[in-house]
Amino acid sequence: MNLQLAEVEKHQALGVKPSILTLRFDHLQQWLKEQGEPSFRASQIYQWLYEKRVTSFEEMSNLSKDLRGKLANDFTLDTLKLITSQTSSDGTIKFLFELQDGYSIETVVMRHNYGNSVCVTTQVGCRLGCTFCASTLGGLKRNLQAGEIVAQVLEAQRHMDQQDERVSSVVVMGIGEPFDNFDPLMDFLKIINHDKGLNIGARHITVSTSGVVPKIYQFADEKLQINFAVSLHAPDTETRSRLMPVNRAYPLDQLMESLDYYIEQTGRRVTFEYGLFGSVNDTSEHAKQLAKLIKNMKCHVNLIPVNEVLERDYVRTPKEQIDEFEKTLKDEGINVTVRREQGHDIDAACGQLRAKERQEETRG
């Protein structure tokens, strides 16, 4: 096979097969060409994968036996095994999946009145060390391949097929820093957005970063019309460094400059995620500083009352203070909402289910 796909070649060097879900539509066409097959087969294969959602190449009945054999020879179709799931009283479902190499990842389905949204994980663990996050406690184990991210959406859709419902939006806000796994992330976005794939509209996809500045420039240059969120969590560089060590590598002023560039290139607004941590970043003074930092910027602020994390010391901000923070921003002319909490009665904070599973494994 003469495919110029780093991921595929890496797998072959290791003697393992890549998942077919890792292939973008144009890459699949390229592979077919190398097999001497017409390019329209790519549409047929995508239809089997993403519309009919088959679980084996054998089921692709309008392909020749020979082509099904070649597919099975070069690729796998099974990437995720369900270990457990939890369903919250508000309908939020949290899945814990096992990857082929035994690592586990989380995927969350959230129910909104405007549709069902899936929150995907991009890495096994994370190296960025945000001090409020359980997912970073064990460090980064490895990056996910595009196909392993796609498979999370596909599995969520399979689950929803049972209720005749559809995944209407995707948020890349699960475990890991998406921009730390940039190329597979871009492939993932193209696969789920493709009209022959899961056909999730660009404006129904959101990518969130903790602020990896060089990748923000690269992302801006892609000029994708998807939603873009940045975890800000503090209006000054000192508090931000305390919460997010990534701020030491890419300080706040550099981050803001890169976001100006993003807005200029794409014409799109930025959403700032701002987690409220009791007595750390949640006073009216912080709100005023935040308003000053982002004034006149094409943006929106999403305030997140954070869940307490078992392994960390942060406490929740009282309701009245959340209201006060919101009001201060509004008075300063900032576009702001408070995120509705979901899955509060299950382990819904990023990484909690996986951390709990690990503890149980250790205990067992």
Q: Which residue ranges make up the annotated binding site for [4Fe-4S] cluster?
A: 126, 130, 133
Residues 326-355 that bind ligand SF4 (CB under 6 A): 350
Residues 164-193 that bind ligand SF4 (CB under 6 A): 175-177
| DSSP letter assigned to residue 2 | -
| CA–CA distance, 299 with 354 (Å, rounded to integer) | 33
Catalytic residue among 7, 106, 148, 273: 106
Number of residues that bind ligand SF4 (CB under 6 A): 12
User: Is residue 106 among the annotated active site residues?
Assistant: yes
- Assess 210 for contact with ligand SF4 (CB under 6 A): yes
- Assess 243 for contact with ligand SF4 (CB under 6 A): no
Smallest separation, CB 309 to ligand SF4 (Å): 10
The stretches of the chain forming alpha helices (DSSP H) are: 6-14, 25-34, 41-46, 65-74, 146-161, 182-193, 213-222, 237-243, 246-249, 252-266, 284-294, 319-331, 352-363
- Assess 307 for contact with ligand SF4 (CB under 6 A): no
Interface residue with ligand SF4 among 136, 152, 281, 317 (CB under 6 A) is 136
Bind-site residues? 126, 130, 133, 176-177, 208, 231-233, 307
Structure tokens belonging to residue 315: 């406490």
Q: Please give the full DSSP string across 264-326, using - where no structure is assigned.
A: HHH---EEEEEEEBTTTS-SHHHHHHHHHHHTTSSEEEEEEEPPP-TTS---BPPHHHHHHHH
- Assess 130 for contact with ligand SF4 (CB under 6 A): yes
| CA–CA distance, 111 with 343 (Å, rounded to integer) | 10
Of 111 and 278, the one with the shorter C-beta distance to ligand SF4 is: 278
- Assess 133 for contact with ligand SF4 (CB under 6 A): yes
Structure tokens belonging to residue 171: 């948020």
The set of catalytic residues is 106, 350
- Which positions lie near ligand SF4, rule CB under 6 A? 126, 128-130, 133, 135-136, 175-177, 210, 350
